[in-house]
Chain A
Amino acid sequence: MELDCRRLLCPMPVIRVQDKVNELKPGDELVAICTDPGVQNDIPAWCRINGHEILSIETSEDEYRILIKVGNNV
């Protein structure tokens, strides 16, 4: 599943990810597509705090694709 967070500035991408993850099940995967470089720190930090896993962060042409695996704590 993809979540478009382009042009949103932190913490809005984190809020969007948080709200989407709350709708998902443990083990589901979500790709957040963002343009604010702050997400490289903020989304992993939010995932660490809330027990989710970052599977990868890909950067291309000012976009960041962050692949998240939903943890068991949802």
Chain B
Amino acid sequence: MNNVPQKKAVALISGGLDSLLAVRVVQEQGIYVEGINFYTGFCVEGHTHAIRKRDQSKPKRNNALWSAEQLGIKLHIIDIIDEYKDVVFNPKYGYGANLNPCLDCKVFMVKKAREWMEDNGFDFIITGEVVGQRPKSQRKETMPIIQQDSGIDDRLLRPLCAKNLPETLPEREGWVVREELLDFSGRNRKPQIALAKHYGFEDFAQPAGGCCFLTDESYSVKLSDLWKSRGEKSYELDDIMLLKVGRHIRPEKNYKIIIAREEGEAKYLQGYKKQYDSLKTLSHSGPLALIDGTPNQEQLNLAERKCR
């Protein structure tokens, strides 16, 4: 009789296809898996489709929860909004094309997952990373940095590309069989699609621009503008949520106007009327606008004209 306890892995679940497949690959080898999903405030999931009326026809589901349900695993969603600020403000490895600190972000998330793993008696971490898939965080040269800086060392298994990487502890110890792991590489998605089909996964999420607003150029421009106007890098959750909504016009450094572009956004901005001054035309229908900052009367008059 085999008395060896079942090994336990914690998986970083983004809600995308790769993490879904990575979990299923190790489940096939008898590993018990639970998932972690980190909420930074910049995640594209969830709130965006709840705001825009034009997106209301899309299914309102959280893809990380959906993935966990497909896999039959528990999912722990962890709020890291405050802790994550330092990653955004001071990325050791710099930003990507926009304000996306992808490598620092991955290091941070694996480090948090390591802490969770140790607190909860799990044996190793798995991610859906694929070598060569992302220009910054998923390169052969940068992947060891994640292991080193997060402190996870060789307890990090990347099942989708493990055969292209040095052997990890779970492989050496025989917890998983290396030959049954995969050798995916590069940006080609065909192997993932084929594997999804093999496992019978349908309707999985494949967000075109990734799952983080910081990779979005126009969002990053608005965040830069926020920092410039304040003279420092700082934000609260409401700030970064509002950057996702409406047209942002900054006539002068001391204030900006956030104008709802459609009914869903107007409804969302309504919720901020107690925190911000707002403008709404009474004589005829017009958009709701919030005023962020401290405009003088003349500037308020200008803001009012912009909202007509």
Binding site for B on A (CB under 8 A): 7, 9-12, 14-15, 18, 35-38, 40-42, 45-46, 48-50
Contact = CB atoms under 8 A, between A and B. Distances in A.
Chain B interface helix/strand/loop/mixed: mixed
B90 interface: no
B290 interface: no
B193 interface: no
Contacts of B239: none
Contacts of B39: 11-12, 15
Contact of A37 (B60, B69, B77): B60
A9 B77 contact: no
Contacts, number: 72
Contact of A10 (B46, B66, B73, B271): B46
A48 B69 contact: yes
Q: Which of B59, B77, B271 has the most CB of A within 10 A?
A: B77
Nearest to B68: A49
B66 A11 contact: no
A41 B61 contact: yes
Contacts of A50: 74-75
B77 A36 contact: no
Interface residues of B, number: 27
A26 to B, nearest CB: 16
B293 to A, nearest CB: 22
B62 A9 contact: no
B241 A38 contact: no
Given A7-B271, A36-B46, 14 more contacts: A9-B47, A9-B51, A10-B50, A10-B62, A11-B37, A11-B45, A11-B65, A11-B77, A37-B60, A38-B49, A41-B62, A45-B62, A49-B65, A50-B74
Contacts of B78: 15
A10 B47 contact: yes
Given A11-B39, A49-B75, A42 B46 contact: yes
